[in-house]
């Protein structure tokens, strides 16, 4: 099951943060912002120091999963530099389709709304509702 | 010399038009074509969002914003009315209130949104008010209105379309749109038509004349 979802914009700022598991320790909003900035940094580092990139000349995709003893962190970076991060339990090995669907929801309910300013936090009831539906389905 | 140059230019132009064949021929296609052409909802959603942002920069309040969107919708409504009338090959234009509402409910909604409107009701409190309901208007479903503008209904565009059609059918009305969320339908929109006094009086006279 998916514990939480984060969306980071292209400059490293957190634009969406939602927790779906009430039984685990919650991240304070400050901690979430620090997490987003840190993750943005290490993601950039990883894509630059990848040994395969220099050899083939193509840029590496960056961090895709981070494993710990209790949970796994998945990351999906769009070609526009937005990162979709999900923290799940260890049962999920790859979350690319779910993260792609979250990307589609972001495109639909955030980008097509006239009241959403780019790179700003996402404040859309429809987006929250649809994302909740998607997380509960998984 | 000049002719070969001309031929070169013409062949280049031909190549050009071949790639954008659809767009140049769209305006040259007959009005009454059989196959109904559809526009991508995403493309229209982006255009509509930009329309709302554009008007937002030029108004000073929510009422003004709705009025401006209404005016934009009116421009669409006149053209939609002409197009649907000619495509349906109907012989007569509706001038009675109820027939006009049924026309809007079925023909116009199907031409614009590919589905008939969900319900048509007459208000119980006021005799001159009618309501057209759409449970999930496609063009509005991606828009999330922030809480500080909770009374704004982007369906003002649709109400503009309906208002201009009502003027074309000689039943002028004041049309507004309201969001009335219901179970499982958070974007349910109600288009409220308030007909002018002379329209209702004319209807009464015609009803009296018919029953006599």
Whether B151 and chain A come into contact, CB under 8 Å, resolves to: no
Tens digits of residue pLDDT in B195-204? 999 999 999 9
Contact A124 B144 (CB under 8 A): yes
Contact A112 B149 (CB under 8 A): no
Q: Which residues of A touch B184 (CB under 8 A)?
A: none
Contact B45 A112 (CB under 8 A): yes
Task: Give residue A92's pLDDT.
Answer: 86
Task: Give residue B166's pLDDT.
Answer: 93
Q: What is the pLDDT along chain A (138 residues), one digit of tens a residue?
A: 889 999 999 999 999 999 988 888 888 989 999 999 999 999 998 888 877 655 665 667 788 899 999 899 999 999 888 999 999 988 888 888 899 999 999 999 988 999 888 888 998 888 999 999 999 887
pLDDT band at B2 (very low <50, low <70, confident <90, very high): low
Report residue B24 as tokens.
Answer: 């140049």
Task: Give residue B21's pLDDT.
Answer: 55
Q: Which residue has the higher pLDDT, B30 or B168?
A: B168
N- to C-terminal Cα distance for chain B?
83
Task: Give residue A74's pLDDT.
Answer: 93
Mean pLDDT for B23-38 is 66
Task: Give residue B36's pLDDT.
Answer: 62
Say yes or no to pLDDT of B8 above 80.
Answer: no
Tens digits of residue pLDDT in B138-173? 888 898 888 888 888 899 999 999 999 999 999 999
Tens digits of residue pLDDT in A24-33? 888 898 999 9
Task: Give residue A57's pLDDT.
Answer: 59
Task: Give residue A38's pLDDT.
Answer: 94
Least reliable range by pLDDT among B49-53, B97-101, B152-156, B207-211: B207-211
Q: Which residues of B touch A127 (CB under 8 A)?
A: 144
Task: Give residue B93's pLDDT.
Answer: 84
Contact A114 B42 (CB under 8 A): no
Task: Give residue B22's pLDDT.
Answer: 57
What is the distance between the alpha carbons of residues B24 and B19, in angstroms, rounded to a whole number? 10
Q: Which residue has the higher pLDDT, B1 or B190?
A: B190
CA dihedral B136, B138, B140, B142 (to 10 degrees): 100
Mutate to test the interface with A, among B40, B42, B142 (most CBs of A within 10 A): B142
Contact B144 A126 (CB under 8 A): yes
Say yes or no to pLDDT of B35 above 70.
Answer: no
Task: Give residue B17's pLDDT.
Answer: 47
């Amino acid at each position: 099951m998916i514990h939480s979802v984060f969306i980071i914009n292209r400059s490293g700022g957190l634009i969406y943060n939602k927790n779906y598991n009430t039984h685990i320790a919650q991240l304070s909003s400050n901690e979430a912002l620090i997490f987003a900035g840190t993750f943005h940094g290490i993601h950039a580092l990883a894509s630059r120091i990848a040994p395969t990139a220099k050899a083939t000349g193509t840029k590496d995709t960056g961090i895709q999963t981070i494993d710990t003893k209790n949970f796994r962190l998945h990351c999906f970076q769009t070609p526009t530099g937005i990162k979709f991060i999900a923290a799940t339990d260890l049962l999920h090995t790859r979350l690319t389709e779910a993260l792609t669907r979250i990307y589609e929801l972001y495109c639909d309910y955030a980008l097509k709304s006239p009241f959403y300013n780019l790179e700003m936090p996402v404040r859309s009831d429809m987006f929250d509702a649809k994302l909740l539906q998607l997380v509960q389905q998984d | 010399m000049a002719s070969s140059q001309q031929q070169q230019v013409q062949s280049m132009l031909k190549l050009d038009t071949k790639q954008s064949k659809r767009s140049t021929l769209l305006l040259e296609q007959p009005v009454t074509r059989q196959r109904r052409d559809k526009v991508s909802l995403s493309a229209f959603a982006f255009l509509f969002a930009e329309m709302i942002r554009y008007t937002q920069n030029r108004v000073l309040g929510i009422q003004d914003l709705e009025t401006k969107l209404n005016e934009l919708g009116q421009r669409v409504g006149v053209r939609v009315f002409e197009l649907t009338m000619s495509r349906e090959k109907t012989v007569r234009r509706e001038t009675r209130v109820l027939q006009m509402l049924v026309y809007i409910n079925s023909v116009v909604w199907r031409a614009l949104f590919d589905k008939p409107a969900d319900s048509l009701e007459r208000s119980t409190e006021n005799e001159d008010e009618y309501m057209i309901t759409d449970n999930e208007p496609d063009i509005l479903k991606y828009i999330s209105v922030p809480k500080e503008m909770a009374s704004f209904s982007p369906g003002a565009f649709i109400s503009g379309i309906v208002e201009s059609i009502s003027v074309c059918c000689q039943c002028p009305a004041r049309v507004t749109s309201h969001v009335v969320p219901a179970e499982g339908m958070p974007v349910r929109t109600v288009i409220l038509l308030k007909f002018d006094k002379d329209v209702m009086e004319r209807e009464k006279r015609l009803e009296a004349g018919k029953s006599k």
